A and B are shown apart, each in its own frame.
Chain A
């Protein structure tokens, strides 16, 4: 009797594991389908390989544990929004760390990167400004310019019309331009 109970238990375990495997297989499919685009987006937002790996891992961890493994209605939208949110929080943390470090650096010393035109400095500067944008404007810049998604898809992900997405992008660029100018005039 006891033996049979153990056998049934094992059988149930096996079938449950198979069911879990089958029910979560879509995660691997999503990874296969959107992995490259996601890595590119994260790389452009963060510009650091280790951060990209962490943000990518966090994104899929969120996806796997969403409501006990339930598949979201639109996987791509969920992935892109989660990835950009994870990346932005990392970027903000990095900006704070950099500010703390620069406050420790003596005032007389100006880093070499700030003297000449430096592509790396320009990109890093823009990244920190993007992190400060309001959420709706930031998402459009991230998805449209860094993710290179068409406006129709950006609008669908954000739940707005394509025209609204265009207006948001225009506002975001104006705001970024203003901040870039302010910083240079300082």
Chain B
């Protein structure tokens, strides 16, 4: 019985590389196993309803999960890294303390990763990408339809001239 961690999904669909495919397949397998043997499975639910020992175990696991989430959700102050670096650099040799890198570290602030920075704008980026995709598809569709209409129109006109004025004249008119 595996509980999902906070932010973790049973199905991981990241990328389309061979590695991504592997992950996808593994994610599906995990998902399937979770449905059959996980908490959501009916036989587990039935068992839990009648077994106080398992219920207690599950409650314990959930409490641990909750406590871990509480620990992770408590942020530290922004200047903690700066203070920690300053304290650690103070213990290093004089030569190291005088370097430019040490000075920069004394003023360092935690920098969120690119993924974290993009997390807030994720929805907006996805929406823009979806709009662009729709626009491109529409544009491609419209142009293809226009092209088709023109070709068909040309063919119909040529046929008309061929019927009325003869093939030679029609060939001359539609030569270009």
Query: Which residues of A come within 8 Å of B, CB atoms?
Result: 17-18, 20-21, 24-25, 27-29, 31-32, 35-36, 39-40, 43-44, 47, 49, 52-53, 56-57, 59-61, 64, 119, 122-123, 125-127, 145-146, 148, 170, 173-174, 176-178, 180-181
Contact = CB atoms under 8 A, between A and B. Distances in A.
Interface stretch (B101-109, B128-136, B155-163): B101-109
A150 to B, nearest CB: 12
Contacts of B71: 44, 47, 123, 126-127, 146
A54 to B, nearest CB: 8
B93 A20 contact: yes
B33 interface: no
B64 A39 contact: no
A126 B68 CA distance: 8
Report whether over half of chain A's contact residues are helix, strand or loop; otherwise say mixed. helix
A177 B110 contact: no
Interface residues of B, number: 41
A29 B87 contact: no
Nearest to B58: A177
A60 B81 CA distance: 14
Given A122-B70, A181-B59, A17 B91 contact: no
